[in-house]
Structure 1
Amino acid sequence: MDVVLTTAPEEPLVTLAEAKKQLRVIDGFTDDDTYITGLVSAAESYLDGREGVLGRALVTQTWTGTLDARFPSEIKVPLPPLQAVTSIKYIDQSGVQQTLDASMYDVITNTEPGLIVPAFGQCWPSVRCQRQAIEVVFVAGYGIASEVPKRVHRAVLFLVGHWYTSRVPVNIGNIVNDIPKTFDALIGTSRVWRL
């Protein structure tokens, strides 16, 4: 399923105040606020969403996914955890976009990835054979920032700290290290392994 972000999270995972506390920035010092806010945004982008290394949604966000030509037996919804499906639309055989009634399908949110399957006794409708014939709008993420697992929250703070103290990618004359193993330990169990 191809996906595009429809509605971004309404709040950041890490606030500026939390990041400054992690960095031990003195109270009242605001010269680096814009820079730190940018680091927080970059760290969250590194982990979150379609391009993020975790392969999942963190704070609640809405995505639109598309499928080609026909309904599969079950629709695997990327970017767990799946909260809800807002709508499913499809192009019928006449080329008219239709909205599938929610009673026609079941949404399974307690698996990763989340699934959409025909309801008992129902079948998927016929779809015109074309690219992006099916559109699924879904809500994904753990909820508000405080509901995201603490290890993921800590990983964002860890990245912000690492980037704040290492402001250039190459350190001439010293041993160059990748992001320390602590980071891998924090995100390892939260990563969705793509096939």
Structure 2
Amino acid sequence: MTNFPECELSTARRSSLSWKLKLKIPNASKMRITWPAMSLSRLRVAVGLLAGLLAMPALACSFTIAFNTQFEPGADRLPASEVRRLAEWLIDEPGKYENQDKFLIILYAAPTSGISDALARKRASHLRHWLTMLHVPDSRIIQEVARYKPGKSAEPPNFAQVDFLPGCPHPCCPGMVPIVK
């Protein structure tokens, strides 16, 4: 029997360890490695992860319709021609969708370009005023004034955008076909 001076083991444990140490398996390097059977819970997790990975492109869908305009330098109001374009856009684009969820007003504050925070807020209020005058509920309008970063912002500092985000049904809704009036 093999002695184990480093630790105190029971005689039954010592005999089981000696037997395992003396065991010689021929061609052990050529043995096939098999995976243990997958439990049902692990299978569910694997299927869930796979489904999540396959569904990611569908989750990344973002459907917006944008109206882009520019204010004149130093002006806090759009010219009449741009207000008319806004009205036509509201009829042509958001008017097609049954559920008009949100309207997001995005514009820049650029103190180095002469657009102070106060002027940017006036511009946003002007756009909000025209949207409400054109029958967009005030509760559906969100304003965002971003800081203009020269060289990093893709648009000019006098740029303004109104994004329309329709509620379902629209092309990004899962399993839905958009209802166009």
TM range (shorter): 0.3 to 0.5
Q: Looking at CA atoms only, which structure, 1 or 2, has the larger radius of gyration?
A: 2
User: TM-score normalised to the size of structure 2?
Assistant: 0.34
TM-score (norm 1): 0.32
Structure 1 or 2: larger strand share? 1
Q: Which of the two has greater helix per residue? A: 2
